[in-house]
Amino acid sequence: MTERLVVAGFDGSECSLHAARWAAAAADQRGTGLLLVCATDLPDQAEADRAAALLAATEARVRQEHPSLRVTTQFARSPAASSLRECADRAQLIVVGSWGSGRMPGVPLGSVAFCVASTSPTPVAVVRPEHRRPVRRPVAVAVDARSIPHGALEFGFATADACNVRLLVLHVRHDVAIDGAFPYQVVRDRVGTATIPTVRTSAQSEEDRTAMAWQLIPWQRRYPRVNVTPVVLFGTPTATLLDFSHRTDLLVIGDARRGVNSGLFLGSTGQELLYRSACPVVVARSTDSKS
């Protein structure tokens, strides 16, 4: 069986360098190899040569930081987004920086990051320079309590298992009758190095937690080493998950395909999380929605 690698996009920018180093740490934790992909469609040969030289320097840096990691590189004269998508079949994770060397001022997410995250059939992590590495705190997966996306849950369990950290399965319940104008109402419980919010007891939250627990049973059997906790939060999804992103090293979200736009499955909440999350965000498409 062909090894499924962690693939990192690189264009010579500081943001892509941080993404490459984050990807190296992720590959090391997962016990797999790393593929650094540098793709450019610039006609200027001098610029292409510069990019190739930066790729070689980045490979050397990654090898120095992770001596036992298997690292390969790929240089292509083609658009970056299409080159990364072509790697999907041999990747377990694609990592991109939130913006690259062609970043426009005031734009929080580059076109390559948005395109790959919103269309790739393989999980995609979007990383910014201020994001921590590697994963040390609990991994969080955002779900709907009644219909948990299998792609996000699969990635969350596999990552928590590989990194030996706790898994938190989050459902955000927006109920004006309960939480009114407050962002969310929680009591806080210290668990390890993270502050884990849990809602005040209510019939609605207990029903949601029970529904989540039942859906998690097959996954717990598959990943018996993972300590998983279903968490119900009250508030608007975007604001609540952005707040929670300060308490985890990785936030996993599922696809949100609706209607005729079947080629794009990144919803408005997902876009906001990619723009503003305090931790890397992974978009993991459900296997039953692959086309």
DSSP, residue by residue, 147-193:
B--HHHHHHHHHHHHHHT--EEEEEEE--HHHHTTSS--EEEEEETT
Confidence of residue 1 (pLDDT cuts 50, 70, 90): low
Residue type, 243: D
State the maximum Cα–Cα separation within the chain, in Å, rounded to a whole number: 65
Q: How far apart are the C-alpha atoms of 225 and 80, rounded to whole Å? A: 37
pTM: 0.83
Window from 147-161, 218-232, 256-270 with minimum mean pLDDT: 256-270
Q: Which DSSP letter does residue 149 get?
A: -
Q: How far apart are the C-alpha atoms of 291 and 116, rounded to whole Å? A: 16
CA dihedral 26, 30, 34, 37 (to 10 degrees): -60
Q: Report which of 41, 113, 42, 58 is spatially closest to residue 84, judged by C-alpha positions.
A: 113
Residue type, 224: P
Each residue's pLDDT tens digit, 179-227: 443 333 343 333 334 444 444 445 566 788 888 888 899 999 999 999 9
- Average pLDDT of span 84-104: 80
Each residue's pLDDT tens digit, 13-38: 888 999 999 999 999 999 999 999 99
In total, the chain counts a number of residues equal to: 291
E strand segments, the chain: 5-9, 34-39, 71-76, 91-97, 124-127, 139-143, 167-173, 186-191, 194-199, 228-234, 250-254, 281-284
> Which two three-digit tokens encode residue 283?
């978009």
Q: Report which of 66, 61, 69, 71 is spatially closest to residue 17, judged by C-alpha positions.
A: 61
What is the predicted pLDDT for the residue at 71? Answer: 97
What is the predicted pLDDT for the residue at 197? Answer: 46
pLDDT at 91 over 80: yes
Average pLDDT, the chain: 80
Confidence of residue 174 (pLDDT cuts 50, 70, 90): confident
What is the predicted pLDDT for the residue at 258? Answer: 42
* Residue whose token pair is 């948990």: 148
234 φ, ψ to 5°? -100, 135
Residue 1 CB neighbour total at 10 angstroms:
3
What is the predicted pLDDT for the residue at 122? Answer: 92
Q: How far apart are the C-alpha atoms of 255 and 193, rounded to whole Å? A: 29
250 near 277, Cβ under 8 Å? no
Confidence of residue 100 (pLDDT cuts 50, 70, 90): low
What is the predicted pLDDT for the residue at 109? Answer: 59
Name the residue with higher pLDDT: 206 or 155: 155
Each residue's pLDDT tens digit, 270-282: 888 998 899 999 9
| Alpha carbon distance, N-terminus to C-terminus of the chain | 23
pLDDT at 3 over 50: yes
CA dihedral 275, 281, 283, 286 (to 10 degrees): -140
